Structure 1
Amino acid sequence: MEKKNFKAFTNLNPFKKNAIQLCGQEFVDSLTANGIYAKDDKFWIEVNRKLNIPDNAYDQRKIREKVEREQALAEEIAREKAEMERLLSNKKKFDSKNRNDWTIVVFELLETDEHGNKFVAECTKSSGAKLTTQLFETSQEAYSRACNLVDENEKQSQKYRRFIEHYQVLKPLYLMLIYLSGGDEHYDYLKSRPKKRGIENFIGVSFYNGFDYDIIAQLEKEGLLERSTTGDSLILFKKGMQVARDMLKTINIDGVERLLEQRNYHEDYINYKSQSEEE
């Protein structure tokens, strides 16, 4: 670290000749006379002390370099943004097409960017959502990229809608499972004092992130499911699926009926008897 501090402070490599240049021949000779050589950390401790080099010079330089890099990057991003805004402020409509619930408009800029690109596409959905492509050399490239953006956005939106449909049903079920499977949790520093386990230090109900082993074992014994060899996943058999579907039909939770309808084909799967099952 002493050599790193020397280099960071002086911008010179930690060589003996550089120490002589800064500290003088007489000083270095005095160190050598006392058996302290440039290969030793002690040598550079003395050199740094002579030059008043801080013990954290290397760390401080790294911090400064990081700040400078971040500042340079921020400035570059700001320049690119300003240039893009300037280019986009001078554009004219080139073509317009509809795709699903989106309108894709391709614009041509009055001048190209530094890479020769001059076409950009803006996508607007009826709901007000907007997407913009980067610049491209041709209108076809801009339009193709816009189509990809629209399709990806619709894909993600559909994925999110499916998640919400499941979440509104699973939320109360998960909360019920956690609540019924958990135990009272109090602040740790009072746990050793039973008389203090009360309302004043109650946190909530704690639940280990997993299903109760004994319950899973019993369900497996009844032939409703099976654990994987590693125990980290479960397979719900037809019998268990039917029980689950029958229970869900009795629960008054918004969205349950829709999810059951999406899996109505499971009824055919459950009722179907393969040759191996019949045997």
Structure 2
Amino acid sequence: MEKKNFKAFTKLNPLKKNAIQLCGQEFVDSLTANGIYAKDDEFWIEVNRKLNIPDNAYEQLKIREKVKREQALAEERAREKAEMERLLSNKEELYSKNRSDWTIVVFEMLGTDKYGNKFVAECTKSSGSQLTTQLSITSQEAYSRACSLVDENEKQSQQVRSFIEHYQVLKPLYLMLIYLSGKDAYNPYLGSRPKKCGIENFIGVGFYSGFDYNIIDHLKKEELLERSSTGKSVILSTKGMQLARDMLKTINMDGVERLLEQRNYHEDYINYKSKSD
């Protein structure tokens, strides 16, 4: 690192002749007389100290280089964005077609980008959603890209709708199953303290999960459960417990009422407010 610091600060290679140039022959000779040579790290420690070179000179150089690259990239992106806006502000409509619930309009721009592209397509859905294709060489390519963009958007929208329908059905089933099959979970960092299983340290109902992680993630977003640190199990929160108990009370199934009675103390856990709350 000492050699890297020397080079970063002086912009010279860590060679003896360069050390002599900056520190003087007498200083380098004094190091050599003490058995400290240019091949040794100690040599460059002394040289850097003589030149007041910071210990983090190399690291600071890398930071400056990274900032410079990022600035250059940001400037290039800004130029490209400005050029794109200029091109798109000067375009003429060629034709429009309908596809599913979308209207696709193909435009020809009055100028071209640096790659010779001069066609673009804009897609508008009846609901107001809008999509724009990449620039294309031909109008046919622009339209083809628009069709692909529309079809992919419709596919993703259908997947979202299907998941929501799936989630709405599985949400109550997951919560009830986790609640009835899980075990009380307490703060794992309390060791064997006598109060470990007290109401103050209760964190929820734990359950080793083999469920669909997409469903689990959505339950987590609703703050109905949390994943364990290993990710192999879940802990139903007091909010999730309350919802599960409310749903179970509406089910006409043998044994449910008895199971709820056995966990009536959970009502105290759910409603408990610590002094810090």
**Pairwise TM-score range, normalised by the shorter structure:** 0.7 to 0.9
Q: Give the partner amino acid of 2:137.
A: E
Q: What is the CA–CA distance in structure 1 between the aligned matches of 2:54 and 2:67, rounded to whole Å?
A: 20
SS of 2:128's partner is coil
Q: How many residues align?
A: 213
Give the drift of 1:191.
4.9
SS of 2:121's partner is strand
Asked if 1:52 is matched to 2:43, the reply is: no
Q: What is the CA–CA distance in structure 2 between the aligned matches of 1:195 and 1:7, rounded to whole Å?
A: 61
Q: What is the CA–CA distance in structure 2 between the aligned matches of 1:96 and 1:179, rounded to whole Å?
A: 55
Aligned counterpart, 1:91: 91
Aligned counterpart, 2:30: 30
Q: TM-score, normalised by structure 1?
A: 0.72
Give the drift of 1:65.
1.4
Contact 1:191 1:197 in 2 (8 A): no
- CA shift digits 1:63-99 (9 cap, x unpaired): 1111221121111111111111111111111111111
Q: What is the CA–CA distance in structure 2 between the aligned matches of 1:68 and 1:179, rounded to whole Å?
A: 55
Aligned counterpart, 1:140: 140
- CA shift digits 1:12-31 (9 cap, x unpaired): 11111111121112111111
Q: What is the CA–CA distance in structure 2 between the aligned matches of 1:195 and 1:148, rounded to whole Å?
A: 61
SS of 1:113's partner is coil
- CA shift digits 1:168-195 (9 cap, x unpaired): 1111122222212222222234453233
Q: What is the CA–CA distance in structure 2 between the aligned matches of 1:176 and 1:5, rounded to whole Å?
A: 62
- CA shift digits 1:215-268 (9 cap, x unpaired): xxxxxxxxxxxxxxxxxxxxxxxxxxxxxxxxxxxx89xxxxxxxxxxxxxxxx
Contact 1:190 1:197 in 2 (8 A): no
Aligned-residue RMSD, C-alpha = 1.7
Asked if 1:21 is matched to 2:14, the reply is: no
Of 56-65 and 202-211, more deviation after overlay is shown by 202-211
Q: What is the CA–CA distance in structure 2 between the aligned matches of 1:143 and 1:35, rounded to whole Å?
A: 76
Contact 1:185 1:205 in 2 (8 A): yes
Aligned counterpart, 1:125: 125
Q: What is the CA–CA distance in structure 1 between the aligned matches of 2:95 and 2:147, rounded to whole Å?
A: 14
Of 101-110 and 176-185, more deviation after overlay is shown by 176-185
Q: What is the CA–CA distance in structure 1 between the aligned matches of 2:38 and 2:26, rounded to whole Å?
A: 14
Give the drift of 1:208.
2.2
Give the drift of 1:154.
1.0
SS of 2:208's partner is coil
Asked if 1:205 is matched to 2:208, the reply is: no
Q: Give the partner amino acid of 1:178.
A: I
Q: What is the CA–CA distance in structure 1 between the aligned matches of 2:69 and 2:35, rounded to whole Å?
A: 42
Aligned counterpart, 1:183: 183
Contact 2:124 2:130 in 1 (8 A): yes
Q: What is the CA–CA distance in structure 1 between the aligned matches of 2:205 and 2:110, rounded to whole Å?
A: 64
SS of 1:207's partner is strand
Aligned counterpart, 1:74: 74
Aligned counterpart, 1:153: 153
Aligned counterpart, 2:4: 4
Q: TM-score, normalised by structure 2?
A: 0.73
Identity of aligned residues (%): 85
Aligned counterpart, 1:240: none
Of 121-130 and 10-19, more deviation after overlay is shown by 10-19
Structure 1 segments of 4+ aligned residues over 3 angstroms from their partners: 188-191
Q: Give the partner amino acid of 1:133.
A: T
Q: Give the partner amino acid of 2:54.
A: P
Q: What is the CA–CA distance in structure 2 between the aligned matches of 1:85 and 1:152, rounded to whole Å?
A: 25
Q: What is the CA–CA distance in structure 2 between the aligned matches of 1:158 and 1:196, rounded to whole Å?
A: 48
Of 50-59 and 67-76, more deviation after overlay is shown by 67-76
SS of 1:156's partner is helix
Q: What is the CA–CA distance in structure 1 between the aligned matches of 2:178 and 2:13, rounded to whole Å?
A: 62
Q: What is the CA–CA distance in structure 2 between the aligned matches of 1:96 and 1:210, rounded to whole Å?
A: 49
Q: Unmatched 5+ residue regions in structure 1?
A: 212-250, 253-279
Q: What is the CA–CA distance in structure 2 between the aligned matches of 1:180 and 1:81, rounded to whole Å?
A: 56
SS of 2:184's partner is strand
